[in-house]
Amino acid sequence: MNEIDWKNLPFGYSKTDYNVRCYYKDGKWGELEVSDSEFITMHMAATCLHYGQEAFEGLKAFTGIDGKVRIFRLEENAKRMIRSANGVMMAEVPVELFREVVLKAVKLNLKYVPPYGEGASLYIRPLLIGTGAQVGVKAAKEYLFMVFVGPVGPYFKEGFNPVKMQIVRDYDRAAPLGTGHIKVGGNYAASLRAGDRAHQDGFASCIFLDAREKKYIDEAGPANFFGIKGNTYVTPDSSSILPSITNMSMRVLAAEMGLKVVQRQVPVTELEEFDEVGACGTAAVISPICMIHDRDTGKEYKYCKNGQVGDISQKLYFKLKGIQEGTEPDIHGWNTIVE
Ligand code: PLP
Ligand code: COI
Q: Which ligand neighbours the alpha carbon of 235 most closely?
A: 1
CA 92 from centroid of its chain's CA atoms: 20
Residue 149, beta-bridge partner list? 124
pTM of the model: 0.97
* Cβ neighbours for 256, distance < 8 A, ≥ 6 positions apart: none
Ligand 2 center from residue 188 Cα (angstroms): 10
Candidates 183, 229, 302, 321; catalytic one: 183
CB 23 within 8 A of CB 101: no
pLDDT means over runs of 10, the chain (339 residues) = 87 97 98 98 98 98 98 98 98 98 98 96 98 98 98 84 95 97 98 98 97 97 97 98 98 98 98 97 95 96 92 96 98 97
Ligand 1 center from residue 260 Cα (angstroms): 23
CATH 3.20.10.10 fits 163-324, yes or no: yes
The answer to whether residue 229 is catalytic is no
Residue with the smallest CA separation from ligand 2 atom 5 is 58
Burial classification of residue 266, based on how many CB atoms lie within 10 Å of its CB (0-12 exposed, 13-18 middle, 19 or more buried): buried
DSSP state of 184: B
Q: Which pLDDT belongs to residue 1?
A: 62
DSSP state of 275: S
Ligand 1 center from residue 57 Cα (angstroms): 9
Residue with the smallest CA separation from ligand 1 atom 3 is 222
Instruction: Give the chain's length.
Output: 339
Residue 300, beta-bridge partner list? 293
Residue with the smallest CA separation from ligand 2 atom 9 is 222
CATH code matching the domain that covers 6-152, chosen among 1.20.1440.60, 3.30.470.10, 2.40.50.100, 1.10.8.60 = 3.30.470.10
Q: How far is CA 40 from CA 54, 140, 144, in A?
A: 14, 17, 10
- Report the Cα–Cα distance between both ends of the chain, in Å, rounded: 23
**What's the rounded Cα separation, in Å, for the pair 326 and 245?**
19
Task: Tell me the DSSP string of 107-173.
Answer: HHTGGGSPPTTSS-EEEEEEEEEE-SB-SSS---S-EEEEEEEEEE--SSTTTTS-EEEEEESS--S
Report the phi/psi class of residue 309: left, alpha or beta, with left for phi > 0 and alpha for psi in -120 to 50: beta
CB 143 within 8 A of CB 22: no
* Residues with C-beta less than 6 Å from any ligand 2 atom: 58, 222, 281-283
Q: Which pLDDT belongs to residue 273?
A: 97
Residue with the smallest CA separation from ligand 2 atom 8 is 283
Task: Tell me the DSSP string of 85-104.
Answer: HHHTT-----HHHHHHHHHH
Q: Which ligand neighbours the alpha carbon of 281 most closely?
A: 1
Q: Which pLDDT belongs to residue 218?
A: 98
Reported as type and span, the H/E element at residue 55 is: strand 54-56
- Can you list the pairs that 296-300 forms with residues at least 24 positions away whose Cβ atoms lie under 8 Å? 296/167, 296/169
Crossing angle, helix 74-87 and helix 245-256, to 10 degrees? 140
Ligand 2 center from residue 228 Cα (angstroms): 23
So where are the chain's domains? Answer: 6-152, 163-324
* Residues with C-beta less than 6 Å from any ligand 1 atom: 58, 219, 222-224, 242, 244-247, 281-282
